[in-house]
Structure formats: C-alpha cells, structure tokens
Amino acid sequence: MNPAMSDKRVEAVDLSHHISNLSKARLPSPLKSLAKYMGKPGLITLAGGMPHPDYFPFADISGNALPQNSYSVDASSRTSSLSWIWNIFGSKPKTIPVTIPKYPTASDQVNLATALQYGQATGLSQLQAFIKDFAAQVYDPAYSNWTCLCHTGNTDGLTRVFLTLLNPGEMFLTEEWTYPSALATAQPVGCKPVPIRMDGEGMRSDDLKKVLSGWDEQARGAKRPHVMYTVPIGQNPSGATMGVSRKQEIYDICVEYDIIIIEDDPYYFLQMKEYRLPSERTTSKTKHDGAAFIASLEPSYLKIDVQGRVIRLDTFSKTIAPGSRLGFFTCNPLFAERLERQGETTTQAPCGFGQSLITQLLVTWGYDGYVRWLHGLAVEYEVRRNFLLDTLASEFHLRPTLGVQGIWKGLEVFVAYAKPDGSEKFGYGNKLFSIVPPTSGMFLWVKLHFDDLHNFQPGDEESLEMQMFIKLAESGVIVAPGWLFAGNPADPPEPGSGHFRIAFSNADPENFKKAVDIFSKVLRDFHKQ
Amino acid sequence: MNPAMSDKRVEAVDLSHHISNLSKARLPSPLKSLAKYMGKPGLITLAGGMPHPDYFPFADISGNALPQNSYSVDASSRTSSLSWIWNIFGSKPKTIPVTIPKYPTASDQVNLATALQYGQATGLSQLQAFIKDFAAQVYDPAYSNWTCLCHTGNTDGLTRVFLTLLNPGEMFLTEEWTYPSALATAQPVGCKPVPIRMDGEGMRSDDLKKVLSGWDEQARGAKRPHVMYTVPIGQNPSGATMGVSRKQEIYDICVEYDIIIIEDDPYYFLQMKEYRLPSERTTSKTKHDGAAFIASLEPSYLKIDVQGRVIRLDTFSKTIAPGSRLGFFTCNPLFAERLERQGETTTQAPCGFGQSLITQLLVTWGYDGYVRWLHGLAVEYEVRRNFLLDTLASEFHLRPTLGVQGIWKGLEVFVAYAKPDGSEKFGYGNKLFSIVPPTSGMFLWVKLHFDDLHNFQPGDEESLEMQMFIKLAESGVIVAPGWLFAGNPADPPEPGSGHFRIAFSNADPENFKKAVDIFSKVLRDFHKQ
C-alpha cells in the first residue's frame, strides 16, 4: 500500500446501527479491564491463571515444508495426462525446515512460550503483521482505517459475523444457489436467506435492485435485509467468477440500501484461465511474475469499498490446509472490535501450534514467496479442472451452444450427448447434461437434463436428481446433489433439470477417469429406461 | 473401565427438555445428509471442496517433547529454594521425538493427510479413543452410555453448553465467587448468575437447597434455574477443593430439582497435599504410583452421575498448554449430539496441527505416561504454592486462627500481621490479610482486612480494594482484584474486607520474592496512613 495514497482515503462511515442486540450485550472479559495496568517493563504479573511455559511439554516444534516454487506455474507443462502425476515429489520432496523454539533467541521470533500461552483473540503479532501487509498489497481497501483480525476458519468467521449483525427474524441476501453451511450457520440465529437470481458472473445486480426496491415487509414477514452473504469467486456451487464492474454495481446498490456485504472468498487465489477443448488449446510458456499474478485476479469488494461496509473472510483452508482452522477478517474497526469480543468467549486465540507453524512458514516464504505458492496452487487447480473436463470431453460429445435461460443465459454452454460406442457419432440423441467450465474455485456445476426422458413429468426434478445421485453412489461415485445448494429450498427448481456439484480438487487422475466412466454408464442407463 | 461393571449400569435418563430453543433449531450441515452413502471401500468422493493433501505445504511436522517423568513427584526433594530452579532443564532438556508424517506408513498412524483435511467436529479418531479410555479409567462415569466429544478449550466448551441449555432470560446457579469469563460468556446469551454461598469446600449444599426451595419466580424475574455452573476443584478464585460427600449432597439436590451440572474442571489434576509451615513440614520421599495418584484425587461429579445430568469440561490448557485450544466434553449422547452440531458451524474440528501433535504425544506417552506427567505437574504446582506461602510466612507473621464467618467459617485461617523490622515481634498490630492455603489449582485467595484501618468507613471496601490494587500495580505487581470474581456484582462485599487473587502458577522464584516484598511495603504504607 502506498502510504501517501492511504492518507488521502477517508475513514469508514458510521455503521454502528448494523450491530445486533446480541453483539451489543457482549462485553470484554472483566480481566481485560486490567489491561491498562499491564505491559510496563519489569512488571510482575500474578493476575492470570497461566501455566509456566517450562511446563509446556514441547521443547520445540518444527515441520519440513515445501518451498514456495514447488508447483510449476506453467499449465502447459502439465497437460499430458500420461506423463503427469499429481504426487510429483515421489517419496522425498525437497523441503525447507521451519522450526519454532520454546524460548525466542532473537527479538520478535515466533516462539512457543508466547504461542502456546493464553493469547489475544487477535492472534500472534507476527501473523497480524503478515496478514495486514498481505491485505494491503493484494486487496488494497478503498478506505483508510481498515483492520485485520484472526478467526478459526471461515465457518467460525461467518457465525461471528451473523451473530454480530443479525437479530432473530431478520433475512439476509444471498445467491439463488449457495453454500449450505452458510445457511446452516444462519438457521439457529433465526435468519433466513433471500435468494437473488444469478448469471454467469454470480449474483445479478438487476435482480438485487428489484428485490430491494420492491421489498414488501408485510408479505415477506421481515424488514428489508441489511446484510448480504456472497461468494463472488469460485462461487459455491456454480463456480462463477464475478468481475469488478458487477461488483461495483452491487456495491452501489448496497450503499443505496445501506447493506453490509459479507465477502466469503475461500477460492480467491484459485482463479484460472478460461477452459479450451484440447483441440483448441494453445500452449504458451508461463513464467511467474508476482505483481502480474496479483493484478490478474479479479479485485476483492474491498478495492471499491470506500465506506467500510465489506467484511471480507479469508481462510488458510484452501491455501495451506483445512485443518489450519485459521483465517482472518478484513473490515472496519467497529466491526472488528465486536468480532474480537465474540472470539474471546469462544475459541479465544486460534490454536498456537497451528498459528506458530503457519506464521513461521509465511515468514520464511515472505510475501513474495507466499504469492508464488498461491500462483502454483492456482495452476494446479486449473490443470485439475482441465483434466476433468478433458475426460468428460473424451467420454461425451460436448456441443457448444448459446445458453438461452437460467443462470447461463447468453454464455457458451457445453451440452453433453452420449457417444454410444466410442465413435464420434451421436448416441441416443438425448441431451444428458450441460456445463459451463468454471474459471475459479474447485467445482464443476452440472445441469442434468430430464426433459428428454420419455417418461418425464414436470415436478419430478428433485426426485430424479436424487434417484440419479443414489444410482451413482451405489455404483461407487459420490457427488453433491443440487438441492443441497438451493438458496431457498422452497423455490421450484429450473423446469426439466437437476444439478450435481462435482469437486475437481481432490481426486487422483485414475479416479477421475473411473468416476467419469461410472457417471457415463449411470446417465446412459437412466436415459435408456 | 470394567466392561462387566459398565453393562450393569443404566443409561442416562431422558433430559431432552433441557435443550434450548436455539439448539433445537440447529440442524447438521446439509452435506451431512450424504454421510450414509459414504465410507464404502473404493468409493470415489467428489462431493466436498477438499484440497488434495499433496497441496498441504507440510511434508511432516514434529516436536521434541519432554518425557513423561521429566518432573519429580517428590515435593520434598524440591523444598530448598536455594538449590531449586524451575527451569530444571537448562538449555538442553532430555526430549523424545514426536513426528507426524503427511501420509501414514502404518494403519491408524496419526497423519497430516487426515489431520489437516476437513474433519469431523468430534476430532481425530486416535484422540477420541485416547480420551474415551482416559475418562473411563479416571472419571468412571456412573451410567453406561456416556460419551466424549472434543472442543477447542473450556471457554468454547462453556459457550456451547450455555447455548445448548439456556434460553434468554433464564438464570443459572453458580458459586458466590466465580470465574469472570464464565459470566462474560453467559451475558450475550442473556442469562444471569444466581450466586450460592460457599465455604472451604466451595458451593454449600444447604444454601443451594435454600435458594431452590424458596425460589420466588415473581421476585427473581426468572424461572427456577435448571442449570448449574461450577468449578469444584481449584475453585476459581478461592482455590477450594470439593470432596465427594459434598458433591453427592449437591448432586442429590440437582436430581430433586432437575438441574444439569456443568462441571468446569481445568485444575482437576492440580490437587495437592495440605500446606504446612516450613517449621512443621515433614519430609517423606514420594514415589510415583499411577493408580494411587488417580485414587488420591477427589472424584469427578461423573463418578456419582447415575442419571447423565453432568456435562464435564476437560481442557489440555493446564496440562499441555493453553495454546492447545483443545479439550473435551464428557456427557450423555443427547447433549453430545447437540454440542457437536454447534461445533459444526463454528470451529468445526479443532486445529489439525495441534490435534495431531497432542494426540501423537499422548499416544507416545500412553495412558500410564500421561498420568505420570500429570502427577509431576501436580507436585510442581504444590511446590510453587509452598514457595509463595513460605515467602509470605517469612515476610509476615502468620497467626493460625479459627475462621468465624464467611467462606472460611470453621477452617484454620492464617491471619497476617506485619513484622516491622524482620524480627518476630508483632508490628503495627493491624490485621493485614487472611489466607487459607489452597489444596488445588493455581490461586491463592487473599482476604484484605480494612476494618483495622483507622479511617475505615463501611461501604468503602470496593474502593479500598482498588486503591490497594492500583498502588500495587504502580509499584510493579499485578494481582487480580476480588470484585472481578463476584458471582453477583450487585451483592455487597463482606463487611470490612476486600480480596485479591494471586496466581502462583507462573512467576519465577525471584519474582515471587520481589512481589511479596512489594506487597508487604504497599500493605504497611496503606495501614500507616
């Protein structure tokens, strides 16, 4: 961040009226009232029930970590599925040591005596410094007094945000297809989603405007929403990627209607090039350029957030490991203070073993190194997406068409038909499914076509989706059925269709091939009936 | 646990009417509905957004841990303060290696591919097995179908329990002096404490019975409580230790009035011998005997919980390190299921780095080794308690008297008077403070006497307590002022007295001596005024 530029930015506007009643009642632990007396050099503190660090049984902890450049950023070097294995390291990867001693031998060294002691809910100081600098360089928020605060993963983060902003009975805006755990999180808070129509970029600004301007409190049984939950990159489940102009349209509406945006962005760094069929793919060598990689990413809502009404959720789950249970908020200081208070009565600080290992790894890699690591990951997931789609393209006939309705209206959609015997001739003639190759995230959203089934009856969609899901599961493949992701389960599904979400993040190549074989067989049998 | 014995025990009674409305509304994440299809060998799972473990940057993690017998169990070998240093290891302690590979090389080996992946809120299977066996051997619950469930430390655990059991506006029973974070946790749930009078064993059963039998819903503005929060061992702040006969009296009342007991027991393994003045101390060599050590501990409420109405909270904060952010519930399966659901929308599984290192350490030590480690810790804290009390005994004249009122009625209480010039003669004659040496935990509860002050006015207690706190802080020592721990801050303090809670868990010997010197000087100055 250019400090001169920052100086010219204004502070967040007053958004205190968004704080929930529950959150207002949340005071810091009374022990915090002693904080003003603490911190003098030489002070002897006998106030807290803290074990002596000598009694922490670990004298040190360490890890052998992959170097930042372990994964190639050149997708074209990885496109031959025959020569390509994911576990590229074999049994002995090249690694760098990361060690955390119990007691520091240099000032500001990450150490267990601090990391494993009771700590602030804000997290280790070295981690705070890293993420603040990272957010400044990568997200570049548009107001001056933004801050960062650790949480224990985006699910914890989202629960804290919902409890901080929502009173029971309130509704919140979200995409018509969304992350089911977000809805499960809102449920005990007593809050229901208002689904907004989507297109290939995710949430539609025109439908958002329509819903808000026409809000009928009587009919809806709730006040007009003042909170939006959105996954703008690698949208879950659709895989949509939202560009900055759509974000600006939505942001402007949120200013007009005074709405807080919860930007849940676990897949932000998994943005990838558009998919091309193998026959149309051109190979050009890619070299890593950190600034160019960051510039190639669609900007966060923070970049246009001149008022401080965005609470961004970042997680290390997809970039380090889900078991990190570590992530951070970037938001205005008023919200951060309430979110910290809430952390104090739940997890307190995130786990010190995880915090110290991850912090030391990030410090070892440095900002540039972490960006290099992220670039490598993005390419890995791009290669995985390509492999899944290539396998589908080889098993089915994928016909490019123009989407005419629903979330893919106006986009190039691949419609899949069976190849009956491996030849290029069309098969049974039935439309089996449609896809739009995602440009971010971990998921392929598959629209299943039921209206070519000879015995199809409108209204059977959800039942047919689950019948197909069960047949697949019984044949050895589990995908996520579409109904799980319905923003409003009471909404009728798209006529004549069902959905599957297929993750391309985790399987090995031979399993992808097996899964596509099984998928193909189940679809054909289904359409033969 | 003897399985034959377990078979004869009955299951928990139906306690479903204690579940709060908020908790009832808590359903599992919709993805959980797929669980029944999972787990078949060879199944290809493309349902969840899970990164491939190859992308976890740690090829392995490890730690150098102290052997189980690092700390002596013989307090008498550690009583000479001159020869005694806490950091007994110097720069190179003897350690044992604990390593977690990314991929397991033997079945059931703790590994990062599992520990750092998305996991069940119940925790790693190896950890579940360890704590279930540990709870069976140490706590031996009195009903048959008890279970254990991981949480991320007792603060998280307590929040989950409050939200699972309490509706807004309800009150809960607790000690008249209690842990302030417990009250801070209940506050946003909208629930207030009902303080029960204490004596030297903690909560009094006669006052509990009186409060419940005389409950006036109109006057109290709340229904009779159905939840009790209690710290029965190393009671915070008083340091009281509750024996099994008092627990049985309280349990029977809880059965009669249908009350759920939340047993928050972080100091359970820090039970210690009674304090004797150095002049009266006898030294006898102690050897470790695991079964004898466990048998010497006051039983948990679980031991008498024939109905399954106890939710016990255990934490690794005091036995491994606070930064572990790991602990576990032991309770009936109905409550465990609700508590697990709640975990799913907050932290999910505890941090995989911490879980795997702690699990591997516990597995390496084994049950017997962990018990040996706990025994060593208990003795260390006993030695620390002795050192603090010996230092006070050397600085002040401690006169043993019989407590006549308040929480120490009937107990041997040491009343402290100044020694003006290091001689054994009485000083200014003023009673300065009183203590009852604790037999568990980390805290010395100090009653300050103000009624000997020549200008003392009844009603000045809280102000005098804080004046003395501030003088101490300005002189370089921080203790915890008593008002922080008032179960009901509106309750008047004991006439003529204030309180400090002094932790003996963390300071080094020279700091204890300095702190006692400063405390002495501040007290004398205060009483000279």
Query: In angstroms, what separates the C-alpha of A183 from chain B's closest C-alpha?
Result: 8
Q: Pinpoint the alpha helices (H) of B201-308.
A: 205-213, 217-220, 244-256, 290-296
Cβ B172 vs Cβ B182: under 8 Å:
no
- Annotate A395-421 with b (16+ C-beta within 10 A) or e (fewer): bbbbeeeebeebbbeeeebbbbbbbee
Q: List CB contacts (< 8 A) between B486 and chain A.
A: none
Q: Which residue has the higher pLDDT, A422 or A310?
A: A310
Q: Is the pLDDT of residue A2 over 60?
A: no
Any B CB within 8 A of A405 CB: no
ipTM over 0.85: yes
Q: Shortest CB distance from B325 goes to which of A344, A348, A504?
A: A348
Instruction: Chain B: give the shortest CA distance to residue A50, in Å.
Output: 6
Determine contact: B153 vs chain A, CB below 8 A: yes
Do the chains contact at A351 and B505, CB–CB below 8 Å? no
Supply the pLDDT for residue B340. Answer: 94
Per-residue pLDDT tens over the stretch A63-107: 999 999 999 898 877 655 434 444 555 557 789 999 999 999 998
Residue of A nearest to B25 (CA): A188
Task: Give the model's pLDDT for residue A7.
Answer: 56
* 3-state secondary structure labels for all residues of A331-380: ECHHHHHHHHHHHHCCCCCCCHHHHHHHHHHHHHHHHHHHHHHHHHHHHH
Chunked into runs of 10 residues, chain B (529 residues) has average pLDDT values of: 58 96 83 76 87 94 96 76 50 88 92 92 94 98 97 95 96 95 90 94 97 97 98 94 97 98 98 91 86 97 98 97 97 97 90 98 98 96 93 93 88 89 55 95 95 84 91 94 84 81 90 94 85
Are B51 and A350 an interchain contact pair (Cβ–Cβ within 8 Å)? Answer: no
Give domain limits for chain B.
382-528
With an 8 Å Cβ cutoff, are A348 and B354 in contact? Answer: no
B350 CB within 8 Å of a chain A CB? yes
Residues 6+ apart with CB under 8 A from A337: none
- Mark which residues 105-124 of B lie under 8 Å from A by CB: 112, 115-119
Which residues from B are below 8 Å from A480, CB to CB? Answer: 31, 34, 47-48
Residue B4: the pLDDT is 44
**What confidence tier does A425 reach under pLDDT thresholds 50, 70, 90?**
very low
Residues in chain A closer than 8 A to B93 (CB atoms) = 59
Query: Which of A506, A513, A518 has the highest number of chain B CBs within 10 A, making it the mutation to test binding with B?
Result: A506
Distance of CA A43 to the CA centre of its chain: 44
Contacting residues for A183 by C-beta, under 8 A, at least 6 apart: A193, A487, B30
Per residue in A207-244, pLDDT tens? 999 999 999 999 999 999 999 999 999 999 999 999 99
- Whether residue B6 lies within 8 A of chain A, CB to CB, comes out as no
Establish if B504 touches chain A: CB-CB under 8 angstroms.
yes
Min Cα separation B19/chain A (Å) = 13
Cα–Cα dist B474/B247, whole Å: 42
Query: B81 or A182: which carries more pLDDT confidence?
Result: A182
Decide if A31 touches B, using CB distance below 8 A.
yes
What 3-state class would DSSP assign to B338? helix
Those residues whose C-beta lies under 8 Å from the C-beta of residue A509, and which sit 6 or more positions away, are A81, A84, A85, A86, A387
DSSP 8-class letter at B111: -
Which residue in the block uniquely carries the two structure tokens 């923070």? A302
A374 interface with B at CB cutoff 8 Å: no
Looking at the complex, does the CB of residue A231 fall below 8 Å from at least one CB of chain B? no
Q: What is the mean pLDDT of chain A?
A: 90
Q: Does A366 touch chain B (CB under 8 A)?
A: no
The reported pLDDT for the residue numbered B113 is 94
B71 CA: distance to closest CA in chain A (Å):
9
Give Cβ neighbours of residue B81 (< 8 Å, ≥ 6 apart).
B387, B390, B509
pLDDT digits (tens, 9 = 90+) for A352-382: 999 999 999 999 999 999 999 999 999 999 9
Name which residue leads in pLDDT, A164 or B45: A164
Q: Which residues, in sequence order, are CB contacts of B169 under 8 Å at separation 6+?
A: B190, B191, B222
Whole-number pLDDT of residue B82: 38
- Residue B203 zone, left/alpha/beta (φ > 0; ψ -120 to 50; rest): beta
- Amino acid code (one letter) for B388: L
Instruction: Residue B502: list chain A partners with CB under 8 A.
Output: 46
Q: Cα(A9)–Cα(A13) distance, rounded to whole angstroms?
A: 12
Which residues in chain B are closer than 8 Å to A348, comparing Cβ atoms?
Answer: 153, 155-156, 325
Task: Summarize pLDDT for A136-159 with one digit per residue, the tens.
Answer: 999 999 999 999 999 999 999 999
Q: What is the C-alpha to C-alpha distance for residues B229 and B289, in angstroms, rounded to an integer?
A: 33
Token pair 């009956």 in the structure block, residue: A420
Closest C-alpha among B54, B57, B60 to residue B357: B60
What is the spatial distance between Cα A380 and Cα A270, in angstroms, rounded to a whole number?
9
> Is the CB of B377 inside 8 Å of chain A's CB atoms?
yes
Query: Given pLDDT bands bounded at 50, 70 and 90, which one contains residue A36?
Result: confident
Torsion, Cα B126 A507 A487 A158, to 10 degrees, reads 50
Name, in order, each residue with C-beta under 8 angstroms of B396's C-beta and a sequence gap of 6 or more. B416, B417, B418, B419, B432, B520
Using CA coordinates, name the residue in chain B closest to A484.
B30
Closest-CA residue of A relative to B320 is A56
Asked whether the beta carbons of residue B51 and residue A473 sit closer than 8 angstroms, the reply is no
Contact call for B46 and A180, based on CB within 8 A? no
Q: What are phi and psi of B480, to 5 degrees?
A: -100, 120
Residues 444-483 of chain A whose Cβ lies under 8 A from any Cβ of chain B: 470, 473, 476-481
CATH of domain B382-528: 3.90.1150.10
Q: Which residue has the higher pLDDT, B270 or A492?
A: B270
Residue A99, H or E segment: strand A96-101
Nearest to A505 among B52, B484, B518 (CB): B52
Q: Do B505 and A49 touch (CB under 8 A)?
A: yes
Mutate to test the interface with B, among A44, A359, A362 (most CBs of B within 10 A): A44
Which pLDDT score is estimated for A4?
Answer: 44
Q: Would you state the pLDDT for residue A461? A: 85
pLDDT of residue B1: 43
Chain-chain contact of B58 with A63 (C-beta, under 8 angstroms): yes
Is the Cα torsion angle B404, B405, B411, B417 positive or negative in sign?
negative
What is the reported pLDDT for A493? Answer: 61
Return d(Cα B420, Cα B429) in angstroms, integer.
10
Mark yes or no for CB contact B354/A353 under 8 Å.
yes
